[in-house]
């Protein structure tokens, strides 16, 4: 990597960053005990995947990857709205956000 | 220049993501996630995706994270209790995460023909037109139907969110109006 000029960054680094961010998101999903923070970890995983979409769009010089990211963003917005509404509904019934205490399907 | 910007903002990304895991208060995690998303917008800019960088700041760092912080404050979420979590998450989860990361890293490092990125070099095969022109050209001609379906999806999501977050699911509020109308 030292032979490259310092104006350039290998796309491999972007992909590795994306993989590490995804793994951190999975770890957060597993270890966090707060419902909202678990949801944030899911958003982090979505962002990691978006980064690798943009990287591959740059690699192939094609616009399709960026369009995929656009649609992922729209779906994530819808998902965040509905998910947070569900969290509010759960909190109203259970009065807690700890995932250990929310262990029944029935509200 | 590109290398410096990449290192700085990739460092911000990783630091924000790790801070998200370490903080015990949800509002601190939300602020760390805003740092991650804004740094990702800069990385999109480095990769020549100007529109997505703007959309990332507006939609993710703006709208979605405002929603998150709003819900954290609305529900008055306190510090999370440090429990050990489920034993399955510890026993199966972490080796699985390490395995996923190892497989991904191996595949990525063995990719052949992956190029490099430099500043000002956007979509390389597109000459004389900007990124936004290309994107909108495809989005409003070939992919018009999915685009419109997305707007319907957003509308349904808004309606669903309002219906879910309302008090008492409308049972108690509607009955007086109905009786008075009759």
Radius of gyration of chain A measured on its C-alpha atoms? 18
* % helix, strand, coil for chain B, step of 5: 75, 0, 25
What ipTM was estimated for this complex?
Answer: 0.88
- The answer to whether B59 touches B114, Cβ cutoff 8 Å, is no
Confidence of residue B83 (pLDDT cuts 50, 70, 90): low
Most A-contacting residue of B52, B96, B137 (CB-CB within 10 A), to test interface: B52
Q: What is the per-residue pLDDT for B150? A: 93
Q: What is the per-residue pLDDT for A19? A: 93
- The answer to whether A21 touches B42, Cβ cutoff 8 Å, is no
Question: Residue B68 and residue A97: Cα distance in Å, rounded?
Answer: 14
The segment with the largest mean pLDDT, out of B16-25, B88-97, B113-122, is: B16-25
Per the structure block, which two tokens stand in for B55? 């959309």
Q: Do B109 and A82 touch (CB under 8 A)?
A: no
User: How far does the CA of residue A106 sit from the closest CA of chain B (Å)?
Assistant: 15
Most A-contacting residue of B50, B54, B77 (CB-CB within 10 A), to test interface: B77
- Mean pLDDT (chain B, rounded): 82
- The answer to whether A33 touches B23, Cβ cutoff 8 Å, is no
Confidence of residue B135 (pLDDT cuts 50, 70, 90): confident
- The answer to whether B7 touches B40, Cβ cutoff 8 Å, is no
Question: Residue A34 and residue B23: Cα distance in Å, rounded?
Answer: 11
Q: Do A25 and B17 touch (CB under 8 A)?
A: yes
Higher pLDDT, residue A27 or A100? A27
Q: Which CATH topology does B1-80 take?
A: 1.20.120
Q: Do B81 and A98 touch (CB under 8 A)?
A: yes
Per the structure block, which two tokens stand in for A36? 């909202």
Q: Is the pLDDT of residue A20 over 60?
A: yes
Confidence of residue B120 (pLDDT cuts 50, 70, 90): low
pLDDT digit string (tens) for A70-103?
Answer: 999 999 999 999 999 999 988 888 888 888 788 7
Q: Is the pLDDT of residue A60 over 70?
A: yes
B139: chain A residues, CB-CB within 8 Å: 67, 70
Q: Is the pLDDT of residue B179 over 70?
A: no
- Let me know if domain A11-94 sits in CATH 3.30.9.90: no
- The answer to whether B67 touches B32, Cβ cutoff 8 Å, is no
Q: Is the pLDDT of residue B177 over 70?
A: no
Domain ranges of chain A: 11-94
pTM: 0.85
Higher pLDDT, residue B120 or A9? A9
Q: Is the pLDDT of residue A53 over 60?
A: yes
Q: What is the per-residue pLDDT for B110? A: 84
Question: Residue B27 and residue B10: Cα distance in Å, rounded?
Answer: 22
- The answer to whether A46 touches A78, Cβ cutoff 8 Å, is no
Domain ranges of chain B: 1-80, 143-182
pLDDT digit string (tens) for B35-62?
Answer: 999 999 999 998 888 889 999 999 998 8
Q: Is the pLDDT of residue B162 over 50?
A: yes
């Amino acid at each position: 990597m030292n032979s490259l000029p310092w104006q350039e960054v290998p796309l491999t680094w972007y992909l590795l960053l994306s993989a590490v961010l995804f793994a951190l998101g999975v770890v957060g999903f597993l270890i966090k005990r707060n419902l909202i923070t678990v949801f944030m970890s899911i958003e982090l995983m979505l962002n990691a995947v978006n980064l690798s979409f943009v990287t591959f769009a740059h690699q192939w010089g094609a616009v399709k990857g960026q369009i995929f990211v656009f649609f992922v963003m729209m779906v994530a917005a819808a998902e965040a709205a509905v998910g947070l509404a569900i969290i509010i509904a759960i909190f109203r019934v259970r009065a807690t956000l700890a995932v250990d205490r929310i262990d029944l399907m029935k509200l | 220049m590109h290398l410096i910007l990449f290192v700085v903002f990739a460092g911000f990304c990783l630091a924000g993501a790790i801070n998200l895991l370490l903080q015990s208060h949800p509002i601190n995690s939300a602020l760390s996630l805003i740092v991650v998303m804004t740094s990702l917008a800069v990385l999109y800019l480095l990769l020549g995706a100007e529109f997505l960088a703007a959309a990332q700041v507006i939609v993710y760092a703006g709208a979605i994270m405002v929603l998150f912080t709003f819900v954290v404050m609305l529900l008055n979420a306190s510090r999370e209790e440090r429990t050990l979590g489920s034993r399955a998450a510890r026993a199966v989860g972490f080796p699985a995460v390490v395995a996923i990361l190892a497989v991904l890293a191996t595949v990525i490092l063995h990719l052949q023909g992956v190029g490099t990125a430099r500043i000002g070099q956007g979509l390389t095969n597109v000459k004389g037109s900007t990124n936004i022109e290309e994107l909108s050209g495809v989005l409003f001609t070939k992919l018009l139907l999915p685009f419109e379906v997305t707007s319907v999806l957003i509308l349904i999501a808004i309606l669903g969110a309002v219906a879910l977050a309302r008090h008492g699911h409308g049972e108690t509020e509607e009955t007086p109006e109905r009786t008075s109308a009759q």
